[in-house]
């Protein structure tokens, strides 16, 4: 979550609404169920760890809308 309570201040509910909408619309527009991304992430972890050493916690799989295309971004920071 990007939105966290700062110094105990309550987050305006419209910020929560906006963030939730932005996320859900990315999936709606790409016609992909959010759960699918989780599965892709799990599979990736399994495949990549056969060959490379990396921190499983830091892997990032993110769907985003850019211009007219949906883009799936995968970040796998490798260990030194």
Alpha carbon distance 2, 19 (integer Å): 8
9 binds another protein (CB under 8 A): no
Residue (of 56, 29, 55, 52) closest to 41 by Cα position? 56
**With binding defined as CB under 8 A, does residue 21 bind another protein?**
yes
Instruction: Report CA 77 to chain centroid distance, whole Å.
Output: 15
Does residue 58 touch another protein according to CB under 8 A? Answer: no
For position 29 contacting another protein by CB under 8 A, the verdict is yes
Q: Length of the chain in residues, anyone?
A: 80
Q: Is 71 in the site for another protein (CB under 8 A)?
A: no
Q: What is the CA radius of gyration of the chain?
A: 16
Binding segment toward another protein, per CB under 8 A, in 8-16, 33-41, 55-63, 69-77: 8-16
18 binds another protein (CB under 8 A): yes
């Amino acid at each position: 979550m990007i939105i966290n309570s700062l110094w105990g201040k309550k987050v305006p509910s419209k910020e929560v609404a906006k963030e939730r909408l932005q996320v859900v619309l990315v999936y709606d527009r790409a016609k992909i169920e959010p759960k699918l991304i989780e599965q892709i992430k799990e599979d990736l972890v399994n495949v990549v760890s056969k060959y490379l050493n990396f921190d499983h916690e830091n892997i990032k799989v993110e769907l985003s809308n850019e211009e007219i295309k949906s883009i799936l971004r995968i970040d796998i920071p490798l260990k030194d």
